[in-house]
Amino acid sequence: MYRALYRKYRPEKFEDLLGQDNITRALRNQIKKNEISHAYVFSGTRGTGKTSAAKIFSKAVNCLNPIDGEPCNECENCKAISSDRSLDVVEMDAASNNGVDDIRDIKEKVVYPPQNLKYKVYIIDEVHMLSKGAFNALLKVLEEPPSHLIFILATTEIEKIPATILSRTQKYNFVRISKEKIVENLEKICKNENRSCDKKVFELIANNSDGSMRDSLSILDQLLSIDQDYISYDIAIDVLGISSEKLIYDLIKTLIDKDLRAAIDQLDLVYKDGKDILILVDELIKRLRDILVIKLIEDPKELLYTTDLDSYRKLAEIMDNTTLLEIINILNKMLADMKYAQDKRTILEMNIIKIVELSSNSLEARIKKLEDYIADPKNNNLKNLGQIENKEVKEKKDLKENKRQVENINTIDEKTIKPEKEEKIEKEDKLEKKEEEKNSQDLDSKDEDDLSIENIKSDWNNILIELRKRGRMNIPILLSSGKAVDYKNKTLIIEYDRADAFNYEAISNQENTKFVEDFLNNYYNRDISVRFILDKDEKKQEAIRNLEKIIGKENLNRI
């Protein structure tokens, strides 16, 4: 019968355990000095050697011929334990035996001395799964254990074990195994199996095993089951359903370049290759994390999941930390949502659109664009307007200060003092107010063209369909969550609810607004302006109108 690699190459001695040198040294010293505790907790992530260490420890304490704290694996006791024939070494899975009756049964049996060995050893795997009652029953045993009894409690979630239990045990935390040690062990096993693999295959396995030697051997076992003498990198990614390094790199590059069409095409390749979407998203998160590590750490090679360091260095140079973190947050949330979704592809595509629009619509990006526009020599008139505005603001501030000082002088009637500048500004305010009222009346009295908001609403679905044919897939998607609410003076108002604030921000940028206006101009054969509003936010619209007065509508639309 075929034996899986992780069982065939299970460590038989402490020295065979990878990456746990401090733990094995401490356990061997206890055995050599005969200073053995009655209870141990082995904690750590899966596949790091917890149950293997427990089996080795049970052999070492019962070995007839121990060698420097190691089991000889030759005596009858060692062979009986290795082949699971000994009744004195009991392995128990707490995930399926977690009731109080299971632990009471142990409590009744442990009082009897071992039949053939020196110590009776109970190895309880996934001990955190025990019920509250079971833990209480176990506590009674640990408080007054017989001298011949040893408990070894293995867990991946030590925080779930009651403190009363932990305080009566020795605790050892098994760390993740380094990628270098995993690769080295995989190469040795392949050699023993008379098989060969590309060096990048071993690195691929190590990157996808999360520091677990058992997971690494399971992946290698899957690859060696192929009827191929030599396992190449391309064969490995195809068998394992992992996206290639190039595909992940190209997809991230399209996101950085804000090339939505190319990003959707890359996703289509993933589907055609039959790749798992959840694995793809996980790969994206890992690679973006690699880019962040490259940006922050001088020599990051040992911390990376990728073997193509130079390519990702180039991406790190053109991405900022804030954008990276925002993208990773979006993907992490999407990964959690996807696990329970039927249509994973749609969720992924919608989030890809969100990421593509992210950098161009962030507040920092828009402020930067405004600063760059003002700093451009071509826009000196805008800078002058800003300077004039600042000067007027300063004059008004000075006037307020003068007025305050005048009010403090009780002997002077404030009604008889009216600074010349204040009178001038008040006159200008009145003239400006009259001009606004006149303009408002002119707009209301001006005849509309024959196009109405009712016409646009009836054409809205056809407009979205036609937009999809133009190759800009994000535009109809973003527009579909808005609604045309008004059309006056050749300006179409499209309103978004606050729940769709992201879509409102995405569609409102200069490029998307111009695209929609150009389309409507061609569709209706007339000049149409488009204004996007969020939930009839009058204060915001008033602020926009004030900004238009200062820098001009044509300048505002360019920003």
What is the reported pLDDT for 446?
A: 38
245-361 CATH fold: Zinc Finger, Delta Prime; domain 3 (1.20.272)
- Those residues whose C-beta lies under 8 Å from the C-beta of residue 298, and which sit 6 or more positions away, are none
Please state the pTM of the whole predicted model. 0.59
Give, for 173, the enclosing helix (H) or strand (E).
Answer: strand 170-174
Q: What is the CATH number of domain 179-240?
A: 1.10.8.60
Closest CA to 480 of 490, 498, 467, 493: 467
pLDDT of residue 553: 57
Q: CA–CA separation, 550 vs 1, rounded Å?
A: 84
DSSP notation for 19-53: S-HHHHHHHHHHHHHT---SEEEEEESTTSSHHHH
What pLDDT sits at residue 189? 92
- What was the pLDDT predicted at 468? 77
CA distance 139 to 167: 10
Domain 453-558: give its CATH code: 3.30.300.180
User: Which pLDDT score, from 0 to 100, does residue 389 have?
Assistant: 47
pLDDT value, residue 380: 53
**φ, ψ for residue 353, nearest 5 deg:** -60, -45
Per-position pLDDT tens, the chain of length 559? 678 898 889 999 999 999 899 999 999 999 999 999 999 999 999 999 999 999 999 999 999 999 999 999 999 999 999 988 888 999 998 888 888 888 888 888 888 889 889 999 999 999 999 999 999 999 988 988 888 999 999 999 999 999 999 999 999 999 999 888 999 999 999 999 888 898 888 988 888 888 899 999 999 999 988 877 888 888 888 888 777 777 888 888 888 888 888 888 888 887 777 777 888 888 888 888 888 888 888 777 666 766 667 778 888 888 888 888 888 888 888 888 887 777 888 888 888 888 887 755 454 555 555 666 666 665 555 444 445 445 555 555 555 555 555 455 444 444 444 455 455 556 556 565 555 555 544 444 434 467 888 888 888 888 888 887 777 777 888 888 888 889 988 899 998 887 777 788 888 888 888 888 988 988 888 899 999 998 755 555 556 666 666 666 555 555 5
Please give the distance of CA 409 from its chain centroid, rounded to a whole number: 65
Could you confirm whether domain 5-174 is CATH 3.40.50.300?
yes
Maximum Cα–Cα distance for the chain, whole Å?
Answer: 116
C-alpha distances out from residue 140 to 133, 171, 369, 462, 535, Å: 11, 19, 69, 75, 64
Looking at residue 227, what is its pLDDT?
Answer: 78
Residue 46 and residue 215 in contact, taking contact as beta carbons nearer than 8 Å: yes
CA distance 486 to 475: 20
Determine how many CB atoms are found less than 10 A away from the CB of residue 60: 25
